[in-house]
Amino acid sequence: MSVTAIRMPKLGMTMEEGTIVEWRVAPGDRVEKGQLVLVIESEKNEAEIEATASGFLRHVYAAPGDVAPCGALLAALTEQPDEAFDAVALAAAEAPAARRPAAGDAVALAAAEAPAARRPAAAASAPAPVATSAPARGGERKAIAPAARALAKQLGLDAERVTGSGPGGRVTREDVEAFAAARERLVPVASGVALEVLREGQGAPLLLVPGFGTDVSSFAALTPRLVERFRVWALNPRGVGASDGPAADVPTLAADAAAVCAAAGGPVHVVGASLGAAAALELALARPELVRSLLLITPFVTATPRLLAAVTAWCRVAAEASPATLARVLAPLLFSDALLADEALRERTLRGLAAACARVPPATLERMAAGLAAWSGTRAKDLARIGAPTLVLAAGADLLTPDGEAVARAIPGARYTVVPGSGHALASDAPGVLGDATLAWLDRT
């Protein structure tokens, strides 16, 4: 694909900006190289501007009357009328300064959408800027507090790798401390690759594999009950938290899980949620000797169009907005009406989800999404080969993985329990039921 920008020209030594007078083409129009596309005014002269390439006009960034500095992006052409094109991303890449938000993400998005050109009226009444730091996510430059940078240097860590929990995703001193502590928890799983694995409790080994876009904190409600009776190994997949990146596909995640099982002295009780359940299935098929039992929470073997669309949206929002915004966008996809109706619970849950989202960088999401899509459908016929005792826990109001029962039916002897009314995020929606069912199941195996 090829995008050509139409910019405000510099027509004389003293020209600094120009005013849009008139567009001669409209979005969607076919444009030939050399064709007159717009008229601008500068220093009391009007000038006709020609297209520098042929293509289709996809987006116009400056309206008649707008003033734009020389070089500013005014419009974009693509070679084909329907090729992938992201108007907001292009503008954002063009004008990094405009992406620094005044406050909050709504403003950041507004700034990204109205980058180089300014409306004269708006310029006259521009609100006084409230200085806040730039968001780390989606920006070229990550916000790292000086104290965090200094501590990372002292500890010999790369501060760029630390995910930030401060306002706008800023990396704080505490984040570096947490990252350093997490690096202490690394377990090598492959040549040059180590995963962050939280180990806690005493008893038979039990592995927790979190789902798409989140980390081990998604099991926070469950872990305290498990550690009373099991040695819990909770892993963060590649690219998540302090685990080495980049993120990998589902078979690789399963191979990593196998390495952790081996380190735990398997066979192991394996608990996976959603994409983590996919890894657990893959692990049970590839390395059955390491799996003592399987607990599949809201699993799938073939992704529904809605799941694929949700994952795509997840990646996009993560790249362009803050973790807090991402969590709020995900809420209706993940949680039940009952949870969403309880304001205090909802806000607390969203804060936890936002914190988890902050530990999964956009690049990791993209790779995980690709892995999910690639794995989808590849194991539908293999479930009959699974020999480990299996429980499928499904959510009654699951929008993303509604086929848990089919998964259970395909696995020989698998038990199936559904939690009525729960959304996809079972651990948030019904932590008590999940804990009871999990412990009852583990008692039986």
> Which residue, 132 or 378, is less far from another protein as judged by CB?
132
Minimum Å distance from CB 173 to another protein? 5
Site of interaction with another protein (CB under 8 A): 131-133, 145-150, 165-168, 170, 172-174
Smallest gap from Cβ 375 to another protein, in A, equals 36
DSSP H or E run through 408 = helix 404-410
Nearer to another protein, 150 or 363 (CB): 150
**Buried b vs exposed e over 99-138: b needs ≥16 C-beta within 10 Å?**
bbbbebbeebbebbebbbbbeeeeeeeeeeeeebbbbbbb
**C-alpha–C-alpha distance, residues 261 and 270, integer Å:** 9
Residues 6+ apart with CB under 8 A from 85: 1, 3, 58, 59, 76, 78
CB of 139 to another protein, least distance (A): 16
Closest C-alpha to 3, from 86, 89, 94, 76: 76
DSSP letters, 234-286, are EEPPTTSTTS-SS---HHHHHHHHHHHHHHTTS-EEEEEETHHHHHHHHHHHH
Helix (H/G/I), strand (E/B), else coil: 327: helix
Beta strands 3-7 and 73-78, pairing class: antiparallel
Q: How far is the CB of 207 from another protein (least distance, A)?
A: 33
Of 170 and 367, nearer to another protein (C-beta) is 170
The least CB distance from residue 93 to another protein, in Å, is 26
Supply the minimum distance, in Å, between the C-beta of residue 215 and another protein.
19
Q: Measured at the alpha carbon of residue 292, what is the angle toward residues 291 and 297, in degrees to the nearest 5? A: 75
Instruction: Supply the minimum distance, in Å, between the C-beta of residue 321 and another protein.
Output: 15
Alpha-carbon span 82 to 124, nearest angstrom: 38
Nearer to another protein, 132 or 417 (CB): 132
CB nearer to another protein: pick between 26 and 131: 131
Minimum CB–partner distance for residue 152 and another protein (Å): 11
Per-residue exposure over 219-242, b if at least 16 CB sit within 10 Å of its own CB, e if not = bebbbebbbeebbbbbbbbbbbbb
Give the 3-state secondary structure of residue 381: coil
Q: Coil, strand or helix: which one is 154?
A: helix
Minimum CB separation of residue 427 from another protein in Å reads: 25
Q: Quick one: CA dihedral 395, 400, 402, 403, positive or negative? A: negative
Task: Please say which residue, 164 or 239, places its beta carbon nearer to another protein.
Answer: 164
Q: Write the CA distances from 310 to 318, 333, 438, integer angstroms.
A: 12, 8, 27
Of 165 and 378, nearer to another protein (C-beta) is 165
Q: Write down the least CB distance from residue 74 to another protein, Å.
A: 34
Amino acid at 382: D
- In the bound state with another protein, the residue whose beta carbon lies nearer, of 168 and 276, is 168
- Cα–Cα dist 99/397, whole Å: 38
Q: Exposed, middle or buried by CB within 10 Å (0-12, 13-18, 19+), for 51? A: buried
Q: How far is the CB of 239 from another protein (least distance, A)?
A: 24
| C-beta of 175 vs 256, nearer to another protein | 175
Compute the radius of gyration of the chain from its Cα atoms. 26
Which residue's CB is nearer to another protein, number 97 or number 131? 131
Q: Which is nearer to another protein, 141 or 306 (CB)?
A: 141
Distance in angstroms (rounded) separating the CA atoms of residues 272 and 268: 12
DSSP code at position 233 = E
